[in-house]
Amino acid sequence: MNLLLISIGLGLLAIVYGVITSSQVLGASPGNARMQEIAAAIQEGAQAYLNRQYTTIAIVGVVVAAVVAFALGSVPAIGFIAGAVLSGVAGYIGMNISVRANVRTAEAASTSLQAGLTLAFRAGAITGMLVAGLALLAIAVFFYVLVGPMGMSPSDRVVIDGLVGLAFGASLISIFARLGGGIFTKAADVGADLVGKVEAGIPEDDPRNPAVIADNVGDNVGDCAGMAADLFETYVVTVGATMVLTALLLTQLGDLLLPLMALPLLIGGACIVTSILGTYFVRLGGGTNVMGAMYKGFIVTAVTSIPLIWIVTQFALGSVGMDMNTVINPDQGMVEFTGRSLFYCALLGLVITGLIIWITEYYTGTKFRPVRSIAKASETGHGTNVIQGLAISLESTALPTLVIAAGIVIAYQLAGLMGIAYAATAMLALAGMVVALDAYGPVTDNAGGIAEMAGLDDSVREKTDLLDAVGNTTKAVTKGYAIGSAGLGALVLFAAYTTDLTVFFPAFRDGDLANGEVSFSLENPYVIVGLFLGALLPYLFGAMGMTAVGRAAGDVVIDVRDQFRENPGIMAGTSKPDYARTVDLVTKAAIKEMIIPSLLPVLTPIVVYFVITAIAGQDNGFAALGALLLGVIVGGLFVALSMTAGGGAWDNAKKYIEDGNHGGKGSEAHKAAVTGDTVGDPYKDTAGPAVNPMIKITNIVALLLLATLAHGAA
């Protein structure tokens, strides 16, 4: 019990950090009246969008909660609600800080680059710590209440179903928020660019463009709130799945079970401490190397996490009188492990995180071959820019896949399935720091927009541009990291599925293939069918997301054209455009467009199970459903990696040209690079990142389906 209380305390530490840092950020000067006016418009638009988005999600959520309560009882339903609400809270608060920090960053950047960096990064760190802290608290408090005050056994079915319910709540919010926010931000961005830059010939962030506020709102609701919900979900699902797997697999451990289920939470708590520590090391040290400053913070966090993870592991095992070398010999012919081997797997998770960051920077940074090759290809036109960008996006999947494959092999060799779970958990434990790096992006992006619109001195815009330049890379990093962890997490979720199957339907898992045993072998054609259908999901989902952005962006174009025509004073600069009208339009479009694609991964597993069961029996229904889960990850990993890295590379190729290479701004190469950037937008900010929650939802729905079928059968 003490272990859980410690985890809860560490989770609260993140909240305390958030509160203190918020007061620091909000205490900074919000600039002049014009800046505040613009910021207020962004705040208002973002607030209006999130209110409407969460209202819509709430309606879906209440229905789903009722279904969960009916099918599985009150505890999973309460878990579902807790996961959903806290995910919403993390995004909501993060965005509220972000829309207030943007104007303050613009103001701070007018004094020095370091001042701007400090303010923007702190704002990001608040979101980061809230995501990690609230996610940790959600699981730890929920688990504590069930096994403490309510006196349940850690391996009680209600506890397991409750944790799955919690994860489902977080996932469902996440897919809506990622997709809705992603459609909003890119529809506004693409629409504003098309009609502003291309048709009207006015620069980006020009206050005469009616879509300019919507564009800035989009940065917050997509890149901040949407991303926060995504990482909250990834955290809850990964740590939750590790605990569920522990409870399901290690049924013979007795007293050791509670400490082993608490250990992922302790690792999460330890890394909150090191993440907070790391934030204080994000400093320029005199130069202008913003990415270097970020790395300093990340490295401090990662390195100090190593001893702390060792200490908490030792502490957890010590609580039941074991040391790091005591062999834990689980039942069911599983691989043996020790505290030491789990520690090595956690270390592996940190290494994988570092490698994925490094690979992502290689593919999206302006210093390396990939981005430069796209910039060079822009010289020969739009077509070759896009061809090279697509080639890079395909290529960028290779190294992360090799890292993940090697990670699976090494973790499994060290400690079996538990090892893979611990590697994934350690990856996610760093979420506080990784989200901080990412949430910093929209703040600086907005700050630049505000500086432009408020007509601040060019030197301010230069500084915000410098701060913003690393934003493409850090955004790509977070997405690569989230989807990479999903690559490991998928195995954990699949193991939870197969183990659950054994628990609920032992007759299908008696080892006697001739007698209806479920065969997950690739030799079973229904497994192949499941893999195909699973791999199809991210493609179809991506197509829907891309089309939605195109459609909504078209609406923006029409609205802006109408405003220009109805009110000629806008272009003359004598009257203000109706920003709110465009924001409202994008809001409605994004909400409308997010529903159908989000339901795809919820309904597909159910349909596939029932259709295959009807045709080929329940054993093959279970087999096809299991294969579907892995098909989604096999297909989704590549779609998501290629889209997020490719989009980042296109964006930075444009930036690289704007820095004066290949003819610089206004050249033919630059025009081609703008096309590439536009193509990359929905790739990297709408379709690609939403694949991650989509993978999780599919898996969690399958787990809930199993539990529901078991209730029905009993």
Question: In the window 665-684, what residues touch a second copy (CB under 8 A)?
Answer: 674-675, 677-679, 682-683
**Contact between 135 and 236 (Cβ < 8 Å):** yes
Using CB under 8 A, which residues numbered 2 to 31 contact a second copy?
Answer: none
3-state secondary structure of 86: helix
Residue from 97, 147, 612, 625 binding a second copy (CB under 8 A): 612
Q: Is residue 531 near a second copy by the rule CB under 8 A?
A: yes
- Taking alpha carbons only, the member of 269, 10, 265, 317 closest to residue 143 is 265
Residue from 394, 580, 595, 710 binding a second copy (CB under 8 A): 394
Dihedral sign for Cα 633, 249, 354, 463, please.
Answer: positive
Stretch that binds a second copy, among 27-35, 156-164, 190-198, 473-481 (CB under 8 A): 190-198
Q: Is residue 115 near a second copy by the rule CB under 8 A?
A: no
CB of 109 to a second copy, least distance (A): 30
Residue from 169, 487, 597, 621 binding a second copy (CB under 8 A): 487
CB of 529 to a second copy, least distance (A): 5
3-state secondary structure of 150: coil
Using CB under 8 A, which residues numbered 320 to 339 contact a second copy?
Answer: 333
Q: Is residue 614 near a second copy by the rule CB under 8 A?
A: no
CB of 441 to a second copy, least distance (A): 22
CB of 141 to a second copy, least distance (A): 33
Burial level of 444, CB count in 10 A (0-12/13-18/19+)?
A: buried
Question: In terms of CB distance, is 103 or 411 closer to a second copy?
Answer: 411
CB of 189 to a second copy, least distance (A): 11
DSSP H helical ranges for 73-112: 74-109
Residues contacting 499, CB < 8 A, separation 6+: 245, 248, 249
Q: Is residue 413 near a second copy by the rule CB under 8 A?
A: yes
Stretch that binds a second copy, among 95-103, 256-264, 318-326, 610-618 (CB under 8 A): 610-618
Q: Is residue 288 near a second copy by the rule CB under 8 A?
A: no
CB of 676 to a second copy, least distance (A): 8
Q: Is residue 142 near a second copy by the rule CB under 8 A?
A: no
**Contact between 371 and 652 (Cβ < 8 Å):** yes
Residue from 125, 495, 585, 707 binding a second copy (CB under 8 A): 495
Phi-psi label, residue 573: left if phi above 0, alpha if psi -120 to 50, beta otherwise: left
Q: Is residue 528 near a second copy by the rule CB under 8 A?
A: yes
| Alpha carbon distances (Å) from 148 to 254, 317, 487 | 16, 19, 33
Distance in angstroms (rounded) separating the CA atoms of residues 100 and 480: 28
Q: Is residue 627 near a second copy by the rule CB under 8 A?
A: yes
Count the site residues for a second copy by CB under 8 A: 84
CB of 634 to a second copy, least distance (A): 5
- Taking alpha carbons only, the member of 191, 680, 206 closest to residue 672 is 680
CB of 18 to a second copy, least distance (A): 37
Question: In terms of CB distance, is 474 or 678 closer to a second copy?
Answer: 678
3-state secondary structure of 221: helix
Q: Is residue 412 near a second copy by the rule CB under 8 A?
A: yes
Q: Is residue 455 near a second copy by the rule CB under 8 A?
A: no
Site string for a second copy, 425-454 (x = CB under 8 A): ------------------------------
Using CB under 8 A, which residues numbered 551 to 570 contact a second copy?
Answer: 553-554, 557
Burial level of 490, CB count in 10 A (0-12/13-18/19+)?
A: buried
Q: Which two tokens stand for residue 336?
A: 């043996």
Q: Is residue 295 near a second copy by the rule CB under 8 A?
A: no
Any idea what the Cα angle at residue 288 is, between residues 283 and 292, rounded to 5°? 55
Please, what is the angle between helix 227-249 and helix 74-109, to 10°?
140
Residue from 601, 631, 647, 689 binding a second copy (CB under 8 A): 631
**Within a 10 A sphere around the Cβ of 215, how many other Cβ atoms?**
30
Matching residue, tokens 């290629």:
642
Using CB under 8 A, which residues numbered 211 to 240 contact a second copy?
Answer: none
Residue from 319, 401, 567, 667 binding a second copy (CB under 8 A): 401
Distance in angstroms (rounded) separating the CA atoms of residues 637 and 148: 38
Distance in angstroms (rounded) separating the CA atoms of residues 153 and 251: 11
* Continuous segment of H or E residues that includes residue 442: helix 431-453
Q: Is residue 642 near a second copy by the rule CB under 8 A?
A: yes
Please, what is the angle between helix 579-616 and helix 157-192, to 10°?
140
Question: In terms of CB distance, is 84 or 348 closer to a second copy?
Answer: 348
Q: Is residue 502 near a second copy by the rule CB under 8 A?
A: no
